[in-house]
Chains A and B, each alone.
Chain A
Amino acid sequence: MSTDERLVRVDGLRKYFWENDSILDRLFGEEPVAVRAVDGVSFDVYEGETLGLVGESGCGKSTTGETLLALQEPTEGRVEFDGDDVYALGRDGLTAFRRDAQVVFQDPFSSLDPRMTIGEIVCQPLDVHDVATGTERTERVRTLLERVGLSADHLDRYPHEFSGGQRQRIGIARALALEPEFLVLDEPTSALDVSVQAQVLNLLEDLQSEFDLTYLLISHDLSVIRHSCDRVAVMYLGEIVEIGPVRDIFESPKHPYTRALLESVPRATTAERERDRETLSGDVPSPRDPPSGCRFRTRCPAVIPPDDLDLEQAQYRAIMDLRERIERRDVSLESVGGDRIAFDDGGVPERDVPAFVDALADRLLERELPPTHRDIVEEALAALAGVDWDEAAEVLRQRYESVCERRNPDLGEERHPVACHLYGLAADGSENGDR
């Protein structure tokens, strides 16, 4: 059961990886590019609870786990464990931290040394930290193995002799060897079949209450998160977009991303066929160049239009998608008219512009628009006929810019905070708290 005692505090944690950062790159004048894997996340983990970190691949959840354990160097931010600043720990402090905070990885096979027996594997942390000796040590290893559901008689066997679920049990035994307080479970059951997953989840549950453990459970599987967690943080593109008690997150999700994520999970019941759900379009943008403002805005079905825009949400979404393509210059203008329209570096000859605009609108616009809006879009596309990307982008920005692209919504402080302007704007619609 969780208490109100805070065990871990993560504050403004950032972890960037750098590309084009070798000496050669610098020699050739390549600018280093930051991959913003984790970009300012803050949360607390309370003693005895399971906090879930959920999100899709590339959202930064695993990097968050590794960085808060100091397995990766942070770019910025602070992590406190039991009140101590983890990144400022001295040698002894760090050793103690490494003992108290352990990790279990997804792939039990690659995280176990194939040349070591499972007895040696489980014993290794005891060696490193110089804990217990002789028969006491062996006894401890035997007890641990049995506690996770393996036979102590198998001490001398090698990892390859075990199945995936058993190897995951070995990984758990190793993580428990030093009697830690805190475990980061990084996709602990993702490589397992469901029937085995169920065993491992039950085991983790038992161990938690038996040893008063605190868990940070990182998973992409929403069913696992729902089953195992007390509180949940949802991540998207390096940020936490919503955090709260598991029940609130699953039964009254606020953030449009959380909602879409939950709706996307197919339920294993006969009612699933008839369940209405809206699917998200598009892909997650690159963490090298995340969208301005709210990072979800390029896919958000609820992206907020400017005031007094007489468009349906889907039409607005379509215009925003078009803007995105133009701003990223992700349209090959040469091929627009096929062989009918000549295109050279300067663009399209005057007389072909209307045909060019039509063809391009046809290709890029996913929805019909009312005439006034069609006119604005055509004006922008006509700028593209003259290869003036900036002008095209500007025409559209003027009319369609959303608050969601101007400002990154803050995650509030309350019990179930959410980072979305749908909730953050003051009642009178005024904007505050710029970033």
Chain B
Amino acid sequence: MSESTEALLRVEGLSTRFFTEQGQVNAVSDLDLRIDRGDVYGIVGESGSGKSVTARSIMDLIESPGEITSGEIWYRNGELAAAVEDDHGHAVDGSFVDLLEIPERVRRSLRGTSFSMIFQDPESSFNPSLTVGEQLAEAVEVQRRASANPRSTRARTRSEEYSLGSFVLSTMLPSKRYVSEESRERAISLLELVGIPDPVERADEYPHEYSGGMLQRAMIAQALAGEPDLLIADEPTTALDVTIQAQILDLLDELKRETGMTILLITHNLGVIARMCDRVGVMYAGEIVERGTLADVFDDHVHPYTHGLLGSIPDVERAGGRLEPIPGNVPSLLDREMGDRCRFADRCPKAMEDCLSHPPEVDAEGSDHHAVRCVLAERSYDESRALPDDYFGEPDRPAEAVDEPQSDDEPLPAERTQPTLEDAGGDGS
């Protein structure tokens, strides 16, 4: 547990939408989140839940046709607050800055130094034709330049020329060696920090000479080059074998302890959450439906989806009886098909009349952090108010309508443009 409970990041009412040909997709809706300094915050959810879109929204990586349509992302950084106060007073609240209210280029300058991100697939973060050491050294240089310039809007103009110059240089000399001996040494010590044996030698190797686990470590090293306040890890171990996953989780744990770094961990794996996180948010259909401490969510959960998710996992320590899958459809995230009810109501074994209006997030029993978006937090299940089984249609085909559309990623608009049968099933198309 961390000693300080100082918020590093407060997300309030975040909504991210994709404007596709098929219509508006509500990938993330009205999401609240508070990440304390030094904590590991986990977001868990299945495909299409909006967990990756949330991470990308914080990282400022949402691209057209996606857009953050509302919300505030308050980031605590006194220095930054002082730098932007003059020109953007409305974006500053004490030492917090609302990232959605500052100019794009200031926000971009925070990448690497304030926030950095690691992904499932490390290959995408490396250029195959440069050695790992060179690329780390480059990351070190970029961060050094960025932090050499105060983050005021005026100072940026000068640095832009510089980075343009170095950009031209790097395109002209694609095989350029280390920028300086100093950055090379820093690259080596980064590799050492992430537990790569014999970093001196490994620094001179190319990405393809690394195993999957080592490249994952190297990507973490790259993300740490700018000593970020917040590391966002999006399914960092999903592509790895379980023994390598254990190594990477240990590494993240160690780095957190040694550097005091804060981590936002996105995963579909509840075991990984349990291993790593101080707090956790469970996402379903673009919303955090339950959040709190690990104990709140694993032991004292209120939301039937959380319950269903935990009941679906086979237990590695016990010979289990029958699994309890979650019945029903993954809901459409198309705005026009969403309605105003609880988004889980069509799959929820405890759905009542009360659930037909969208439940707000309310506090639940347990720790101060426990909050849930479900009427059961405030009233117990009342069978006399239960919705009839066939309320949402298709009662005669229970098993058929049971699945999620398959996509490794989040609700990519392109995926959503091909409604799966169950998306269309309700209206008998």
Q: What chain B residues lie within 8 Å of A2 (beta carbons)?
A: none
Within 8 A of A (CB), among B189-241: 197-198, 200-201, 204, 211-214, 241
Q: Would you give the 0/1 interface string for B240-254, flagging 1 where the beta carbon is closer than 8 Å to chain A?
A: 011111110110000
B317 within 8 A of partner (CB): yes
Q: Are A195 and B316 also in contact (CB < 8 A) when A157-B421, A201-B323, A279-B243 are?
A: no
Q: Are A268 and B400 in contact (CB under 8 A)?
A: no
**A292 CB to closest chain B CB, in angstroms?**
21
Among listed B58-66, B79-87, B293-301, B365-373, interface-contacting one:
B293-301
Q: Are A191 and B406 in contact (CB under 8 A)?
A: yes
Q: Would you give the 0/1 interface string for B397-429, flagging 1 where the beta carbon is closer than 8 Å to chain A?
A: 111101111100000000000101110000000
Q: Are B201 and A220 in contact (CB under 8 A)?
A: no
Output the nearest chain B residue to A189 by Cβ-Cβ distance.
B314
Between A160, A197, A267, the greatest number of chain B beta carbons within 10 A of the residue's beta carbon is seen for A267
Q: Are A279 and B314 also in contact (CB < 8 A) when A162-B420, A247-B319, A273-B294 are?
A: no
Q: Are B201 and A226 in contact (CB under 8 A)?
A: no
Output the nearest chain A residue to B45 by Cβ-Cβ distance.
A193
Within 8 A of A (CB), among B295-312: 295, 298-299, 308-312
Output the nearest chain A residue to B242 by Cβ-Cβ distance.
A264
Q: What chain B residues lie within 8 Å of A332 (beta carbons)?
A: 201, 204
Q: Pick the contact of B241: A57, A151, A270 (CB < 8 A).
A: A57
Q: Are A151 and B397 in contact (CB under 8 A)?
A: yes
Among listed B151-159, B265-273, B379-387, interface-contacting one:
B265-273
Q: Are A222 and B316 in contact (CB under 8 A)?
A: yes
B346 within 8 A of partner (CB): no
Q: Pick the contact of A267: B268, B274, B405 (CB < 8 A).
A: B274
B320 within 8 A of partner (CB): yes
Output the nearest chain B residue to A229 by Cβ-Cβ distance.
B319
Q: How far is the CA of A199 from the CA of B214 in the complex (A)?
A: 35
Q: Are B314 and A165 in contact (CB under 8 A)?
A: no
Tally of A-B residue pairs with Cβ under 8 A?
A: 187
Number of interface residues, chain A, beta carbon within 8 A: 66
Q: What chain B residues lie within 8 Å of A149 (beta carbons)?
A: 398-400, 402
Q: How far is the CA of A261 from the CA of B404 in the complex (A)?
A: 30
Q: Are B402 and A165 in contact (CB under 8 A)?
A: yes
Q: Pick the contact of B273: A151, A205, A268, A366 (CB < 8 A).
A: A268
Q: Are B325 and A283 in contact (CB under 8 A)?
A: no
Q: Pick the contact of A283: B244, B268, B313, B316 (CB < 8 A).
A: B244
Q: Are A364 and B198 in contact (CB under 8 A)?
A: yes
Q: Are A280 and B246 also in contact (CB < 8 A) when A246-B319, A268-B274 are?
A: yes
Q: What are 29 A-B residue pairs whose CB atoms fall within 8 Å in the complex? A: A56-B242, A149-B400, A150-B399, A150-B400, A157-B421, A161-B420, A164-B405, A164-B406, A165-B404, A166-B421, A192-B404, A192-B406, A198-B311, A198-B323, A199-B325, A222-B242, A222-B316, A264-B242, A264-B245, A266-B249, A266-B272, A267-B317, A268-B271, A268-B274, A268-B298, A268-B313, A269-B298, A332-B204, A363-B200
In the complex, the 6 A-B pairs of residues with the closest C-beta atoms, listed nearest first: A164-B406, A149-B399, A266-B271, A165-B403, A227-B314, A198-B325
